[in-house]
Structure 1
Amino acid sequence: MSVSVQTGDFDVSVELARLRDGNASIGAVVSFVGTVRDLSDGETVSMMELEHYPGMTEKSLQQIVEEAKERWPVLAARIIHRVGKLEPMAQIVLVAVAASHRADAFSACEFMMDCLKTRAPFWKKETTAVGSRWVDAKAADTSAAKRWQKEDVE
């Protein structure tokens, strides 16, 4: 189980091979790769800059991985999130999960991505022809994350 916040790009096939690392118990690997879009709110995006809070960000990502392990029988997990200046089509994030069965791997991967979007301390700034602007959290991301909240048991 590992997390990385880095400026450099990543190779998805290398990361998935590391995730499996010869573990014959793994029957499913699910991954999500997020990339920079060239259009946002009707404006052409020429650059996205991602900032983070070092130390706090990695801790937040690790906590998300640990929560996924508590909910599903995850055998391995990996989160890589890039920071710095990225152009359209650049990879931003990799969330990958390995489990014995696909349903667990799909659910854990989706949970981790939804939590990452709402809880990890990253800030995005887009550069367009009009200028630069900070990107606000999306209501859809908040709604997606809410469905994973544990109900209070009395």
Structure 2
Amino acid sequence: MLHFRLAEAPFDIGALRAQLLDPRAGAYASFEGWVRDHQAGRAVVGLDYEAYAPLAEREGERIVIEASERFDLLAACCVHRVGMLAVGDLAVWVGVSAVHRGAALDACRYIIDEAKRRVPIWKREHYREGGADWLHPQYQES
């Protein structure tokens, strides 16, 4: 399974993880990115993610395929939320399975880093004191 998708609603990471299971796998790695309550010293109460879905899904799938080929994965998946999210909500999830742990860990990092760098998803933060700002992609890393 190689898959990237956008999700407008919360999703079940247990079901996604189950799809990565393979008797040849010696390793599984995952990453969960959550909405945090601060950014650059400002209190955050929530955020909106917007995406150009056709391009985002195509580029996201390309990243998952690249990771699979580069790290010799058995399976990989990445799901990114769009829409309004609250502090503590799961915003992005990456899961991979591989024969060895090094490949699984490296691939998981590669997928999330490349997705944040290349997939056209924009984040608008809403602040406790009022107002909102669109963040430049370079600030999405942390």
Assess same fold via TM > 0.5. Answer: yes
Give 1:46's aligned residue: 45
TM-score where L is the length of structure 2 = 0.93
**1:4-153 equivalent positions in 2, closer than 5 A:** 4-20=5-21, 23-128=22-127, 129-138=129-138, 141=141
CA gap of 1:139–1:44, structure 2 versus 1, over 3 A, is closer
Deviations 1:22-65 (A, max 9, x none): x2101111000000001111111111000000110000100001
Q: State the alpha-carbon separation in 2 of the partners of residues 134 and 140 from structure 1.
A: 11
TM-score where L is the length of structure 1 = 0.86
Aligned-CA RMSD value? 1.3
Q: Percent identity?
A: 35
SS in 2 for 1:9: coil
Q: Which amino acid aligns with 1:131?
A: G
The unaligned stretches of length 5 or more in structure 2 are: none
On the 8 A contact 2:122/2:137 being kept in 1, the answer is: no
SS in 2 for 1:138: helix
SS in 2 for 1:4: strand
Residues paired across the two proteins, number: 139
Q: State the alpha-carbon separation in 1 of the partners of residues 39 and 32 from structure 2.
A: 18
Asked which structure has the greater CA Rg, the reply is: 1
Bigger drift between 11-20 and 94-103 goes to: 11-20
Q: Which amino acid aligns with 1:62?
A: E
Shift of 1:140: 8.6
